[in-house]
Structure formats: structure tokens, C-alpha cells
Structure 1
Amino acid sequence: MTPSPSFVILVPQHQDLFGNLIIAWTRVTIEESFPWVSVKLEGDGGSIHPNEESDEESESDFLVNYEMEYGVNQLSSIRQPSPPPVLAKISNPICGTSELTQEGLHFTNSYHDLHISVRMMEDFLRLAEQNTTMNLETCGVLAGSLVKLLVFQVTTLIIPKQESTSNSCQTLNEEEIFEVQDNHSLLSLGWIHTHPSQTCFLSSVDLHTHYSYQVMLREAIAIVMAPTDKSSPHGIFHLSDPAGVRVIQDCDQRGFHPHYGTGDGSPIYERCSHVYMDPCLKHEVIDLR
């Protein structure tokens, strides 16, 4: 009687957040009687031939390679189920080609979606109110995490110590920001600041500030809150990529100065089209001032 074959199965156990298989395998040996199957080795591998007689009795180990279908990673960082988020209310965003992946994730210009709470922006305005009445800018750091299907969520608003003027804001003691992010395992997803008496736009100084965020994370955003701008009280921006990023990268000027375009006619910065306002996204505020 043909001995029962021994199967060795290598099963991938984990999948990282970027869809790559982590090399962590579990070795599973299954020994069970299969009287209707005999095993024949061919070349470097083996093949299974049902109902085929064999003159030699042998036991073989087989490595069975399984393809794992990508699904939704239910991570512990997801605090509660949320209803479908609403696209951020931003005027005339410059959109690129959009497509829907098999997993249902919506990509725009290959940017991963970024979700932010409307209430966080409202909380920031309240925290900045005293400075706003004195015509002083206020700034904060947007921090969060990467969750299911490569979606970024802004979950924490950090208000650092800072010094401000009517058209500038400089953070102080930045090591405190890093400490908060490290203790809470937070990513820098962008920044937010007020224009207390100006319109909603990014100045040349703002562009250079945002470059430091976007060069680290392509999806990073810059939010401008302009309470006196009735036509556009807030805007969510980023540098155009690659044209705008290259302009700021090649510019070594400081202070307020002009930028003379991208060369291909595209804007240096634009309103984001990958940002969604999530009415049920929880957030916390950490005021270090």
C-alpha cells in the first residue's frame, strides 16, 4: 500500500500596511492517508497524480505556495465604525484621474485618501480666537495614523509653543512636538494656521513651510483658516507634484518673495482633492502652550 504523503505548507501569516507580505511563515505538517493519491517527483518539484499506480513507495515534502487575497486590515487603531465620509467642501479643486481599486479604495492622482474631522477645524479656530482678535496668526500640527486600506486619519491636533505676527507664525520648542508624536505613535500629516485678517491662500513662506511636510509625506496637507474671508473662510492645500515641489525645492530664498511659476503652466500649489471631512472621526487636542 502506498504510504500516506506528508504535506508541508508554508502559510503567510501577516500583511504589512503597504500590501507586501511580511516574511513570517507558519510551518504546518499534515499527515493523513490519501489512498487514492500517489506522489511522483518530476524535476525539481513534485506533482500529484490521482488514481495512478507507483512502483516505488516514498514520502515527500511539498512546499505549497498560496496567494493571499488582499482584504481590509481591521487594525486596533480603528476606534469605531464610521459612516461614509463626505468630500471636503473646497472650491474648484484641481482633480486628476480617479479610479477605484478592487478593495474599494478611492485614489485621486495616486494620493491616498486623508480623513479629517470638521470639529477639529472648529476647535482650532476657538483655540486661536484670542490671537485672531489681536491680528496674530496661530499654527498647529496635524497628526494621525495610517489605517485600513492605506487611508490616513488626522486624529490629533497639537498646538505648540509659538511666537506670531500678523502674517507669520514660528513654532518653539519643537522637541515637545516630537515627544508627543513619539509617545502616541503619531505621524505628521500636515499643519494648520490662521490668516486673521488676510484672504485664504498660501504665502511664499507658507509654501516653504509646507514643503518640509510634503517632502516627508506626499499626502500632507496645509489648512488655512481665514475667518475674515467670506468667500473662502478655509482652504486645504498642497504643492502640485512634481512641478510645485520642484519649484520650492530649487528655491533658496527666505522670507516673503515671489515665485515665477513652474515652467509648464501648472500652479505651484492647489486645493486638495484627496481630503474627506468625516463627521464621526474622533480627535483630541494637545495644547502645549
Structure 2
Amino acid sequence: MASSYCLQIDVHTVTQSPPPTISCIQSLPHAAEVSRITSADSSSDGLADSELLKDIHISSQLMEDFLALARDNTNKDLETCGVLGAFLEGGTFYVTTLIIPKQESTSNSCQARNEEEIFTIQNEQSLFPVGWIHTHPSQSCFMSSIDLHTQYSYQAMLPEAVAIVMAPTDTTRSYGIFRLSDPGGMNILKECRETGYHCHSEPSDGSPVYEHCSNIYVNPNLRLEIYDLR
């Protein structure tokens, strides 16, 4: 009972009375145009798969604000990660919450800590965990083997879950929004028991292990709330 009570106090402090630098709300005119994110690397198979999924709308400020919060770590060549929370309305997911958990980082990995704080915020606001976002401070924009296993845990809970990779030093592609191919990539990761950096075999159906998402829309009308729990 004591540990549960302490957790409630910690999360209450962040959600109810955060300093301006920890939590903020963005709001733009309703008339602003919603635009779809597409990639030249998206295969026709990936597009077909994504069309079977619910659309996801993200704030036009989300990636920019996340990079700003990650800047200190990025300058130190440390990764930063965050969790995307969304509500579902009319068959569409709207990402309205970005949670930056307590975390341990290296130049090529990031591990969330005290995950019960994330779950508490999601439960209190009835949010779906539609994915995660993280930086590659000095690497290119891709999904590492560790990233793929993290993405599997999200996508196994929610098929629409995505991984946003921010690579500020990649001059060819500064960000990517990815998901595991399904069933190909999902089956590969489900059977993999390796940890750390390792190679994955190609799916037997010829699909890539992961692919670009085509069901993502930038929506400048969305309000974005950020919780930095670090």
C-alpha cells in the first residue's frame, strides 16, 4: 500500500501542477489543413497493409517538441525515448499526449524506467498506447534489432502501434515512422529469443521485417500535452 501511495503522489505532481517546462499544451486554428505522411520508400504491400489499419493523427508540434526536450541528451550523444498516448474517436486514433519517462540512455539504446508511471497516466486519461518515439542522436534513420523488439511489444498490444525514429544528424532522412510487417515481421520477432544487437532473418513471405507507415496524418488542429517524468 505504501509504494502505491507514493506512485500516486509522484504522478499527481506531474499531471496536476507541472512547471511550464515540463508540461505544455499546443492549440492551433481548427481550419488548418490535415496532411498525410508518405514515404518514397513505402512499398505497395506496406501501403495495402496500412490501409487495413485505423488512421493515426499526430500533432504538427509533436516531433519538433520532442526533439527540443531531447536536445541535451542529443548533444551528449545519448538517445531519448517517449511514449505516445491517443484517444479513439470515429475509427481514428488522435495522439494528444507525449510521455517522457524516466530512462537510462546510451548512444545507441534507451530503456524506460518506472513504467508504472506511464501506465498510471494512460489509465487516468483513458489513452491507447499507439507507439513510441526515440532519437538516434548520431546514427541514421532506421530500426535497430533492439528497436524491433521494442516495437513488437507495442504492436502485439495494438496493431496500429508505430515507432517514430528521429535522426537529427541524418542528412538524407531526419525522421521515419515505422511498423513491423504483419504477419511477416511480427512472426520473426515473436520467435526471436536473442537480446542485444543481432540480425533477423527475412520473412518467408518476402516482405521486409519492418516498413514505413502510410496511415499517419499530421493534424495541426490537435492539442498536445507533454509529461516529462525525468
SS in 2 for 1:132: helix
**1:145-172 Cα deviation digits (max 9, x unpaired):** 1012x00111100000001000000011
- Say whether residues 1:169 and 2:110 are aligned partners: yes
Partner of 1:203: 144
Structure with more relative contact order (C-alpha pairs < 8 Å, separation 6 or more): 2
Cα distance in 2 for partners of 1:175, 1:91 equals 38
TM-score, reference length from structure 2: 0.83
Partner of 1:135: 77
2:54 corresponds to which letter in structure 1? H
- Say whether residues 1:86 and 2:35 are aligned partners: yes
- Identity rate, percent: 53
Cα distance in 1 for partners of 2:124, 2:31 equals 26
Cα distance, 1:97 vs. partner? 9.0
- Say whether residues 1:247 and 2:188 are aligned partners: yes
Task: Give 1:136-285 correspondences, 5 Å limit.
Answer: 136-148=78-90, 150-285=91-226
**2:85, 2:128 within 8 Å by CA — same for their partners in 1?**
yes
Closer/same/farther in 2, CA of residues 112 and 82 from structure 1, 3 Å limit:
farther
Partner of 1:18: none
Closer/same/farther in 2, CA of residues 209 and 82 from structure 1, 3 Å limit:
farther
Closer/same/farther in 2, CA of residues 120 and 245 from structure 1, 3 Å limit:
same
Cα distance, 1:199 vs. partner? 0.2
Q: CA RMSD in A?
A: 2.0
Question: Which blocks of at least 5 consecutive residues in structure 2 are unaligned?
Answer: 1-28
Partner of 2:20: none
Runs of 4+ in 1 over 4 A off after TM superposition: 80-84, 96-99
**2:50, 2:213 within 8 Å by CA — same for their partners in 1?**
no
**2:47, 2:214 within 8 Å by CA — same for their partners in 1?**
no
1:222 corresponds to which letter in structure 2? A
Question: Which blocks of at least 5 consecutive residues in structure 1 are unaligned?
Answer: 1-79, 100-106
Task: Number of aligned residue pairs: give it.
Answer: 203
Instruction: Give the helix-richer structure, 1 or 2.
Output: 2
TM-score, reference length from structure 1: 0.67
SS in 2 for 1:142: strand
